[in-house]
Structure 1
Amino acid sequence: MIKSMTGFGKSILQLPTKKITIEVKSLNSKNLDLNARIPSQYREKELEMRNTIAKKLARGKVDFGLYVEATGEETSNKVNEAIVKEYIRQLSNVHEGDTIELLKMAVRMPDALKTEREQIDEQEFNAIKDELTKALTAIEDYRIDEGKALEKDFNIRIKNIRELLDSVIQMDPERMEAVRERLHKAVSDLKEEVDQNRFEQELIYYLEKFDITEEKVRLANHLEYFTTTLNSSDSNGKKLGFITQEIGREINTIGSKSNYAPMQQLVVQMKDELEKIKEQLLNVL
């Protein structure tokens, strides 16, 4: 079973005086790249939350957001009364004016508001951890669903390559005969007498150079290994990537050895299917 690195999870915690929203989004990446956006009062717990996310998601470009919305009467921002009064006094010395207008100017001055740092309540943080687990479960389910779609596509592509390989195998005797005939014709066109034994030796040498028996066997084995890995219990996109490299190597060798246009057309089709697999593998965990 494979999993995609693309996913999204969200959970909302409603407390008496605030609403806390947790969002986790992930895209494909070679390693874990975690970006966290959390309020300053929860910074001391950031490492713990990062570790929780890393253990669950393992790999991908992950954006984690923790958003707090006040819903009660309490607020962490307070008017700094002494500072505001001092601003009003200084402004009135500069210009006598309406007190309300002076107040409007004073509250816009630096330090007119002060933020009281809240202490993290352990019971509240435990509730946040529970909601984070829910969000991570949601993104995991999302990844599994995306993985099923990818797996279906991979099976289709591998099946297409197998069918093209079967066509290559069926065509191979015809190809070898065509190569043999071309060599005979090339020699006859020279209109020179040749040593028949030497010619047969050279013919065998060239036919061996064009032989693709090993490549056909290895390609079939790599395709089978890809399917076996795809159906294993874990999701290993990097391993599947290595297998596709081996598949590509055998397809390229068949193409370079074929020396036969109809077979090279089949090779091009196999390469096309393989490129589609490689592109989708970038999203596999």
Structure 2
Amino acid sequence: MTYSMTAFARKEQSYDFGTLSVEIKSVNQRYLEPTFRMPETLRPIEMKLRELLKKRVKRGKLEVNAKFYSASGEQALDIDESRLKAVTGALNKLEGSVNNSAPVNLIQLLQYPGILIDSEIDAEQVQQEMTQLFNAALDDFLAGREREGAVLAEAIEERLVDITAIVEAIRAEVPEWVQTFRDNLREKAQNLGVEMDADRLEQEVVLLAQKADVAEELDRLDGHVKECRSILKQKGAVGRKLDFLMQEFNREANTLGSKATKESITRNAVQLKVLIEQMREQIQNIE
């Protein structure tokens, strides 16, 4: 199954205590790079949400934006005594080991994550509901990735079909290509006024044909096409495998182009490189 790295999902739900909303959006990235933005009420579940995300998403630069709107409007703020005690205890240890330390600013202390809480809401209930809402948004997000991934896989398949057609066309031209060697050698000998016997001519043709033999490159291109189709059917993140395979495609296309002495084969080699580059661009979007 092929997944795109680009997707967007949004969920919003109203409750007695207020309204929760969460957005998940992503763009291409070599590794998984999630960023979470959320109010302090939801901050205690950030690590849990990160773990849920990592279990189902392997690559991409993701931005998760979670919001909470209290039904009471104006928040009645209170202090989390246990959190405050832990922070001040850590500050006291630092003060005892650091010379000339500046006094603690109370406003800055209040801004420390988790110190201020909304005393009129059940924070645990809010966090539980957000976890469920996040899972629902993640379902939609992955469904969007899957739909986009199917489009990418279809685009790659179209180019694989074209590559196969070009490989078959080149393979069909090989006998005529060898005959071209023979004709060119005979013509050069005649132009130079040199009599070339049939055996010597065939020896030279064989040598030229060996140097320009592209059968191995064509066979490898066929193998790469089959491997690409196999990878596209695999589960999980396949983008890196496909990206490596494009390097192998390019290597064979380059060798084919360097060996080509026939104009039509040179054109086909160039077209192969165009198709491979188009696939590579699509694969940059695949997880």
Amino acid at match of 2:176: E
CA distance in structure 1 between the partners assigned to 2:243 and 2:73 by the alignment = 55
Q: C-alpha separation between the residues in 1 aligned to 2:198 and 2:245?
A: 45
**How many angstroms does 1:184 deviate by?**
2.9
TM-superposed CA distance for 1:138, in Å, is 0.5
Give the structure-1-normalised TM-score.
0.80
Larger radius of gyration: 1
**What is the TM-score when the length of structure 2 is the normalising length?**
0.80
Deviation at 1:13, TM superposition (A): 2.9
Amino acid at match of 1:50: R
Cα offset, 1:11, TM superposition: 1.4
Give per-residue Cα distances to partners, 1:3-26, cap 9 Å, x unaligned: 111111111132323211111101
Give ranges in structure 1 of 5+ residues lacking alignment.
79-110
Q: Distance in 2 between matches of 1:54 and 1:234?
A: 12
CA-atom RMSD, angstroms? Answer: 2.4
Aligned to 2:20: 20
How far is 1:144 from its partner? 0.6
Amino acid at match of 1:232: Q
Count, aligned residues: 252
Q: Is the 8 A contact 1:13 1:128 kept in 2?
A: no
Amino acid at match of 1:263: I
Q: In the alignment, which residue of structure 2 is the partner of 1:96?
A: none
CA contact (8 A) 2:31 2:60 kept: yes
Gaps of 5+ in 2: 79-106
1:60-107 CA distance string (max 9 Å, x none): 0100101122332441469xxxxxxxxxxxxxxxxxxxxxxxxxxxxx
Alignment match of 1:240 (pick from 234, 237, 242): 242
Contact map agreement 2:8 2:141 (CA 8 A) in 1:
yes
Instruction: Show the counterpart of 2:82.
Output: none
Which whole-Å deviations, capped at 9, do the CAs of 1:210-252 have from their partners, x for residues lacking one?
0111111111111111112212344411112222221221122
One-letter amino acid of the counterpart of residue 267, structure 2: Q
Distance in 2 between residues matched to 1:73 and 1:11, nearest whole Å: 21
Question: 1:64: which partner in 2?
Answer: 64
Q: Comparing 136-145 with 183-192, which one deviates more in the overlay?
A: 183-192
Contact 2:20 2:69 in 1 (8 A): yes
1:241-269 deviations in Å (ceiling 9; x for gaps): 22222122112211111111011111122
Asked if the contact 1:38/1:67 (under 8 Å) is kept, the reply is yes
Instruction: Give 3-state SS (helix, strand or coil) of 1:39's partner.
Output: coil
Kindly report structure 1 stretches of 4+ aligned residues shifted beyond 4 Å.
192-200
Taking only the aligned residue pairs, the percentage that are identical comes to 27
